[in-house]
Amino acid sequence: MNDERRQRRQLLHAAGLAAVMASAPVAAWRIRPDEPLTLSYPKMDLEQQIPEVFAGWRVDRSLTPLVPDPVLQQSVQATYDQNIARTYINDRGERVMVTVAYGADQGAEATQVHRPEICYGAQGFVVRHQADELLALPEHRIAVRRLFASLGRRMEPVSYWVTLGDTASLPGWRRKLEQIRIGLAGKYADGLLMRFSSFGTDTAAAYTLHDRFVRDLYASVAADVRPRYFGS
């Protein structure tokens, strides 16, 4: 019975998405999104809002996260308004590489090309999708995508999610449907890519490390901007 209900819900979701997608081109000429959804939200400032030292973690300037090649980097800079790339280390020598990229308008298709699956692949990595999981935070849970990227001897487990306004999600039709819904209301949403990675072949240990780091970071980001990074 539960399987039947789940299938029925999925069919209804798919039908609703198809209807909205079909009507979107017709409505596009009538409604031009010109108002930010997050107009009343605090201004984003990644450098200031993501602390360099917190909960036993500090920035390790000897190691830089994966940097795109010049062509891809130019595309990233054209797509996102702000981005930071840092490596953090704790007293146990554990390292987590962090990339946060912010775009003021997430309605553009260009944002899709910078998903980690595509970004790592463009650098020559072999990327495998491990799983989509729920990460428990103190006040809610967020969906996180797990990847494993390899290039020669470099093995890099990756965890990431994206945001739309103050909603955390994963790329896919649900996020696209939300983008369309916001656009049909004459608004557009900003959003973030939150990516965490480390070196090693033990993916279970790596993802546990990522989750611990994320929870520490969550507790260290100011409450008024926390939903912008972690959803609500």
pLDDT at res. 133: 96
Mean pLDDT (whole number) for 187-191: 79
pLDDT band at 76 (very low <50, low <70, confident <90, very high): low
Mean pLDDT (whole number) for 73-77: 57
Of 145, 139, 147, 146, which is closest to residue 166 (Cα–Cα)?
139
pLDDT band at 2 (very low <50, low <70, confident <90, very high): very low
Of 81, 86, 84, 106, which is closest to residue 96 (Cα–Cα)?
86
| Separation CA 142–CA 187 (nearest Å) | 24
User: What letter does residue 39 receive in the DSSP assignment?
Assistant: T
pLDDT tens, position by position, 43-54: 899 999 999 999
Instruction: Report the sign of the C-alpha dihedral through residues 215, 219, 221, 225, in that order.
Output: positive
Counting residues of the chain whose pLDDT is more than 90, the rounded percentage is 49
The single residue listed with the structure tokens 């990229």 is: 101
pLDDT at res. 65: 65
Question: What is the token pair recorded at 141?
Answer: 């849970």
Q: Does residue 58 or residue 65 have the better pLDDT?
A: 58
User: What letter does residue 139 receive in the DSSP assignment?
Assistant: S
